[in-house]
Amino acid sequence: MSEQALTILAIGGHVGDMELTAGGVLASHALKGDRIVTLALTAGERGVPAGQDMGEYRQQKVREAAAFAEMLGGESIVFEVPDGELSDSEDMRYRVCDVIREVKPDILITHFKNSMHKDHSTTHRIVNDARFFAGLGSFEREKPAHFASRLYYAENWEDAVDYKPYIYVGFEQEAYDLWVKAVSQHWFVTGSKSFPYLEYYKHLARVRGIEARKTYAETFMIPEESVRIIKSEL
């Protein structure tokens, strides 16, 4: 158990985004006794398998998000926003602000700024502003202000333009095994014909682990204004 349990809120554009890209680290923290909450701004239902009803697949995605979170002893939230139609609006920023104030995370994880998928880049902008709104008491909402002091952007093959690993977070076999088992609850991770998601992210975790001299690792970027190393001497 952690000396003082942390709360981590991982916010993705779709169900499965954060589970894949930061899931190993989330599993590692869960095993230490930290609280894990996932928020998907859309379910990601437009990746519906051939022949399946999209509405039914959305419900399946919501169940998959819950299954992943429950295996980590955590919680999942999925907004009722159609996949591909996430609005880059003040209303969405306040909705996410309200979740941040409700969950009270110490750590936020979301998408990097650039992406081939507009829901990802839109989520990045929404979360950055929602974090600001959530931290200021002068923005009056139902819940009191809460500032998430740490913000990370996960490594995602769809968000790769200009992404450079800055922070490597290592984890061991137990967390890796839990993550693989939990993320395999998602159909698209194991069943998609468009991209070998599970194979890619399993190998990436090992490669990043080797680079970090760890068993496994996932990498993250941080806000550009925070990318600095401060020392009193060389």
In a domain, 234, yes or no: no
Question: 167 is in which domain, residue-wise?
Answer: 7-224
Predicted pLDDT at 229 = 86
Pairing of strands 75-78, 150-154: unpaired
Q: How confident is the model at residue 1 (pLDDT cuts 50, 70, 90)?
A: very low
Predicted pLDDT at 2 = 45
Tokens at 87, concatenated: 């609005």
CA distance 71 to 128: 28
Predicted pLDDT at 3 = 74
Mean pLDDT of 126-134: 98
Of 128, 136, 90, residue with least CA distance to 109: 128
Q: How many domains in the chain?
A: 1
In a domain, 229, yes or no: no
In a domain, 199, yes or no: yes
In a domain, 233, yes or no: no
For 73: left if phi > 0, alpha if psi spans -120 to 50, otherwise beta; the answer is left
Q: pLDDT tens digits, residue range 162-177?
A: 999 999 999 999 999 9
In a domain, 232, yes or no: no
In a domain, 25, yes or no: yes
Of 97, 119, 95, residue with least CA distance to 108: 97
Pairing of strands 75-78, 107-111: unpaired
pLDDT exceeds 70 at position 27: yes
Predicted pLDDT at 11 = 98
To the nearest whole number, what is the mean pLDDT of the chain? 96
Q: For the whole model, what pTM was predicted?
A: 0.96
Q: pLDDT tens digits, residue range 40-56?
A: 999 999 999 989 999 99
Mean pLDDT of 107-133: 97
CB atoms near residue 140 (< 10 Å): 8
Q: pLDDT tens digits, residue range 174-230?
A: 999 999 999 999 999 999 999 999 999 999 999 999 999 999 999 999 999 999 888
**Cβ-defined contacts of 132-141 (< 8 Å, 24+):** 133/93, 133/94, 133/97, 134/96, 134/97, 134/98, 134/100, 134/101, 139/97, 141/94, 141/97, 141/98, 141/101
In a domain, 142, yes or no: yes
| CATH number for the domain that contains residue 25 | 3.40.50.10320
Predicted pLDDT at 55 = 95
In a domain, 77, yes or no: yes
Q: pLDDT tens digits, residue range 47-85?
A: 999 899 999 999 999 999 999 999 999 999 999 999 999
pLDDT exceeds 70 at position 89: yes
